[in-house]
Amino acid sequence: MRKCKMCTCQWVLAFCDRYIMLIPRCSSISSYVIMAVSKSSNRMTFVSVSVPVLIATLFVLKTVLKRNYVLPLTIQGKQDQHFDICIVGAGLSGAVVVERYAATTNKSILVVEKRSHVGGNCYDYIDKETKIRVSKYGAHIFHTKYKHVWEYVQHFSEWVPYEHEVLALVKGKYVPIPVNIDTVNTLFNLDIRSVKEMNSWLKNEQVHYNRSSLNSEEMALSRVGLKLYELLFKPYTIKQWNKTPAELGPSVLARIPVRNNWDTRYFSDQFQALPKNGYTELVKNMLKSPKITIRLNIDYFDIQGSIKCGKTYFTGPIDRYYARKGLDALEYRSLSFERKVIKNVDYFQPASVVNHPNPKDNFTRIVEYKWFPNQQYQSNDTIIFI
């Protein structure tokens, strides 16, 4: 029977848990045979050791394995290598597919995740230094207009109401994003007092085309005009994508709302909230069924030939899936996050997310997670991610 390294680690953990308790009763036996597993190899070696050495070895081995192994469930033997359903990726999309299969069928389910954790880009954790809940890959806000979606997620977490508000720092002033009446009044020293006046101002600023917008530059100009485009849309887009809006399709900037009122919310959906105990806990609750086998730190393409799947759902980068067909890779922009802890201060900035469209700033935004209401510890410090 062939075992992978992680499966063997779990076997040894179970061995340690069982036999550490039995050893005091067997002290008359002069030696034991223990399976020793190399962390860097799948090879197994049998060694003969005395009872005291065995006890010490088991304790050390158990501690090391619990610190390093990451797979919550195992796969043992060829007979377990066939699954009715395989899901590649343990983010929100994958978790929903997995949970629905587990809750409504008796199918065997395998989840393969390349990262060392579940939750995908929504993965969050408690920062050890500040005790503040932060997200590894940037801020994520749950929002939906669909009541049945809202009712569904209630099964896996308590929720804290939260309506996300974003500011942009422009010319030394904090202004609401998306653009609204306060944004325009603050940036241009105006006194717009009604929706009608805002509509009139926008109409005078907008660039009107006799055809559909060909790119994001035309899309932005047709919606907000040249002034706001040059201050907010163009410089931020260049930093975000390393392309001018003229090089991007119209859909990129079409998705950014422009408001003719005082609504400061980033989203306008009816249901907006944060999971009380974080997204990681939410996804873990979705994956609790014993029908689910999870393999972390595994690239699906490394094991694709050694497992059999009745049906496979792939939630990773689509160009990776079709790479063997010789198709061109899609373009991606990577983010790096600079972490900074600021001691003995309530807050660093006036909102959880502040965008920095100024071309002179070599970053796009700063996120301060202390603003999020699903924090469970009131820290005396704050933490920001640039």
- At residue 43, does pLDDT exceed 60? no
pLDDT per position as a tens digit, 209-234 = 999 999 999 999 999 999 999 999 99
Q: According to the model, what pLDDT value does residue 56 have?
A: 56
In percent, the amount of the chain with pLDDT more than 70 equals 79
- As a dihedral over the C-alpha atoms of residue 302, residue 305, residue 308, residue 310, rounded to 10 degrees, the angle is 80
Q: According to the model, what pLDDT value does residue 52 have?
A: 53
Q: According to the model, what pLDDT value does residue 351 have?
A: 98
Please report where in the chains the tokens 């900035």 appear, as a residue.
349
| Confidence at 333, pLDDT banded by 50, 70, 90 | confident
Q: According to the model, what pLDDT value does residue 62 have?
A: 52
DSSP states of 177-203: ESB-HHHHHHHHT----SHHHHHHHHH
Q: What's the whole-number mean pLDDT along residues 275-290?
A: 98
Q: According to the model, what pLDDT value does residue 15 have?
A: 46
Instruction: Check residues 2 and 358 and name the one with the higher pLDDT.
Output: 358
- At residue 291, does pLDDT exceed 90? yes
DSSP 292: E
For the ranges 11-15, 96-100, 187-191, 236-240, which has the lowest average pLDDT?
11-15
- Residue 47: which of 38, 34, 61 has the closest Cα? 34
Instruction: Check residues 140 and 16 and name the one with the higher pLDDT.
Output: 140
- For β-strands 353-355 and 166-170, DSSP reports them as parallel
* Coil, strand or helix at 137: coil
DSSP 328: P
| Confidence at 262, pLDDT banded by 50, 70, 90 | very high
Give the chain's mean pLDDT: 85
Instruction: Check residues 376 and 64 and name the one with the higher pLDDT.
Output: 376
| Confidence at 59, pLDDT banded by 50, 70, 90 | low
Q: According to the model, what pLDDT value does residue 81 have?
A: 83
Q: What's the whole-number mean pLDDT along residues 363-384?
A: 97
- Residue 178: which of 160, 164, 158 has the closest Cα? 164
Q: According to the model, what pLDDT value does residue 221 have?
A: 97
- At residue 347, does pLDDT exceed 80? yes
pLDDT per position as a tens digit, 61-119 = 455 444 333 444 443 334 458 999 999 999 999 999 999 999 999 999 999 999 999 99
For the ranges 34-43, 45-54, 289-298, 376-385, which has the lowest average pLDDT?
34-43
Q: According to the model, what pLDDT value does residue 45 have?
A: 39
| Confidence at 3, pLDDT banded by 50, 70, 90 | very low
| Confidence at 11, pLDDT banded by 50, 70, 90 | very low
| Confidence at 370, pLDDT banded by 50, 70, 90 | very high
- Phi, psi of 176, deg, nearest 5: -65, 140
Q: According to the model, what pLDDT value does residue 324 have?
A: 86
| Confidence at 58, pLDDT banded by 50, 70, 90 | low
- Residue 301: which of 112, 48, 75, 19 has the closest Cα? 112
